[in-house]
């Protein structure tokens, strides 16, 4: 059993490579085969939190991830928050989620906080459930269109379910992101041993 401030368990469960291969095979037009790889950064990379380096990539192009971020997990009041950081010159780090020598080059001066893009996380009995913070203020420009992020994810010991959508600030209509439901990922590699308690 876990609880709503158990950052270590959440970090251990997230510290993995995840694949949605089964979903992509079942539903080729709707879901590409994607890998999400989250690798622990050194303890106190950002003080008072557990940080993970994240790469999201099409399975056929793992060395050209389409999204590179650092996630920082910490306890706030009676829940967990996940902060979202951009990474400067991320191209030089491509592949670092599967290469510890490259991972060592991820330094704190390269990361830049994306404000208003925090997730609020609670223990839900058998999983952690996360939702983007209220306010519709995590802005994403895609194809020259400004959107706000509507996002949630759920983590168990063996799965990651995530659903990111961009919405029009005036109408709340979906502009980008999956239409048929969340991405369903299964753990294919486990890096939890790299997290020090
Ligand atoms: C955007 N995804 C975002 C943003 C956040 C997350 C905070 C907006 C700010 C940013 O660009 O960082 C957060 N997404 C998450 C988190 C997870 C996650 C914490 C759990 C690990 O998945 N999103 C998905 C699919 C994939 C996807 C796996 C569908 C193809 O859930 C992609 N997320 C995606 C894209 C963007 C995004 C394409 C917009 C990035 C951009 O265009 O700049």
Q: Is the CB of 93 under 6 A from ligand 1?
A: no
Alpha helices, H only, 118-184: none
Q: Is the CB of 69 under 6 A from ligand 1?
A: yes
pLDDT digits (tens, 9 = 90+) for 141-195: 999 999 999 999 999 999 999 999 999 999 999 999 999 999 999 999 999 999 9
pLDDT of residue 196: 86
pLDDT digits (tens, 9 = 90+) for 62-96: 999 999 999 999 999 999 999 999 999 999 999 99
According to CATH, the superfamily of the domain at 7-192 is CpcT/CpeT domain (2.40.128.590)
pLDDT digits (tens, 9 = 90+) for 36-55: 999 999 999 999 999 999 99
Tokens at residue 30, please? 């709707």
3-class state of residue 4 by DSSP: coil
Which ligand 1 atom minimizes the distance to the CA of 20? 28
What is the pTM (predicted TM-score) of this model? Answer: 0.96
What's the 193 CA to ligand 1 centre distance in angstroms?
A: 26
In angstroms, how far apart are the furthest CA atoms of the chain?
46
Mutate to test the pocket of ligand 1, among 121, 145, 164 (most ligand atoms within 8 A of CB): 164
Residue 114 burial (10 A CB sphere; 0-12, 13-18, 19+): middle
138: Cα within 13 Å, side-chain hemisphere = 22
* Per-domain residue ranges of the chain: 7-192
């Amino acid at each position: 059993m876990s609880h709503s401030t158990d950052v270590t368990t959440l970090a251990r469960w997230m510290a993995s490579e995840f694949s949605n291969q089964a979903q992509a095979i079942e539903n080729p037009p709707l879901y590409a085969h994607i890998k999400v790889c989250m690798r622990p950064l050194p303890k106190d990379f950002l003080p008072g939190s557990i940080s993970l380096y994240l790469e999201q990539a099409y399975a056929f192009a793992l060395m050209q991830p389409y999204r590179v971020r650092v996630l920082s997990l910490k306890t706030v009041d009676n829940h967990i928050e996940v902060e979202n950081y951009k990474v400067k010159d991320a191209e030089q780090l491509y592949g670092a989620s599967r290469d510890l020598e490259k991972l060592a080059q991820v330094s704190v001066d390269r990361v830049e906080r994306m404000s208003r893009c925090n997730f609020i996380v609670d223990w839900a009995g058998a999983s952690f459930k996360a939702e983007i913070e209220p306010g519709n203020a995590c802005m994403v420009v895609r194809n020259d269109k400004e959107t706000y992020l509507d996002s949630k994810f759920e983590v168990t010991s063996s799965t990651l379910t995530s659903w990111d959508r961009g919405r029009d600030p005036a109408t709340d209509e979906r502009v980008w992101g999956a239409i048929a439901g969340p991405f369903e990922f299964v753990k294919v590699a486990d890096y939890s041993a790299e997290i020090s308690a």
